Amino acid sequence: MNSATKQIAIFYGSTTCYTEMASEKIQAELESITSEKGIQAEISMFDIKEHALEKSTQYDLIIYGISTWDFGELQEDWESTWEDIKALELEGKTVALFGLGDQLGYADWFQDALGMLHDELIILGCDIIGYWPNQGYKFTESKALSDDGEFFVGLSLDDENQYDLTETRIHEWCSQILEEWTTDL
Ligand SMILES: Cc1cc2nc3c(=O)[nH]c(=O)nc-3n(C[C@H](O)[C@H](O)[C@H](O)COP(=O)(O)O)c2cc1C
């Protein structure tokens, strides 16, 4: 492995493949933007059902993907590994988050799991980048909002109601996180 090559990893949990598909799109987008910008980077992707979360701590930039289920609950694979989060050595690491949810079907719990994941990670001392404006969504409540209520604490995707916006959102968010991350390098 070339030591100049930055290692980026996406760790996701997905029940009906939407978060997995978003991960694939994020991986492709990051590959394209890094090569365009001349950033030497390798982007890997792991399903947390098969890969321990602990492995994520080896990466320079870590991206976690989660969907919300059953009225504000965690996606099942995240739920199974939830207690492992507390032991992750993430102090000083850069982390970005994205979530999948359904703003119309579950308007009172939109993206709650994304917020729950954020709250678990932030106490570990990592630097969470990639907050995303909450304009352009219609929902009643969400645990995934920043303290000022203006942002989601990560990229918010809704393939049920806004599938046509997913690609653009991913493109913009990937540019944003690379910008936030590389200015810190
Ligand atoms: C039974 C069920 C419950 C759901 N509950 C929520 C919810 O509480 N909040 C939310 O934002 N989305 C909810 N969703 C929407 C899912 O998060 C969405 O379908 C997502 O794309 C699933 O991603 P995955 O297949 O990667 O797990 C629910 C979907 C189903 C089918």
Which residue among 68, 111, 160, 162 has the greatest number of ligand 1 atoms within 8 angstroms of its CB, and so is best to mutate?
68
- Residues in Cβ contact with 112 at an 8 Å cutoff, skipping those fewer than 6 apart: 68, 72, 73, 101, 142, 143, 144
The atom of ligand 1 lying closest to the CA of 111 is: 11
Q: Is residue 127 part of a domain?
A: yes
How far is the CA of 100 from the CAs of 56, 58, 59, 163, 182, in angstroms?
20, 25, 23, 11, 26
* Predicted confidence (pLDDT) per residue in 126-180, tens digit: 999 999 999 999 999 999 999 999 999 999 999 999 999 999 999 999 999 999 9
Q: Is residue 1 part of a domain?
A: no
Which residues contact ligand 1 via a Cβ below 6 A? Answer: 14-19, 67-72, 75, 100-102, 106, 109-112, 159-160
Ligand 1 centre distance from Cα of residue 37 (Å): 35
Place of tokens 């792991």: 46
Two tokens at 36? 């365009």
Q: Report residue 185's pLDDT band, with 50, 70 and 90 as the boundaries.
A: confident
Mean of the per-residue pLDDT values of the chain: 97
The CATH number linked to 162 is: 3.40.50.360
The size of the chain, in residues, is 185
Average pLDDT over residues 76-82: 98
Which residue among 67, 71, 170 has the greatest number of ligand 1 atoms within 8 angstroms of its CB, and so is best to mutate?
67
Q: Output DSSP code: residue 5.
A: S
Which residue among 11, 102, 108 has the greatest number of ligand 1 atoms within 8 angstroms of its CB, and so is best to mutate?
102
Ligand 1 centre distance from Cα of residue 70 (Å): 7
Range of the domain at 133: 6-182
Q: How many structural domains is the chain composed of? A: 1
Average pLDDT over residues 79-87: 98
* Predicted confidence (pLDDT) per residue in 26-64, tens digit: 999 999 999 999 999 999 999 999 999 999 999 999 999
- Minimal-distance CA residue to ligand 1 atom 1: 70
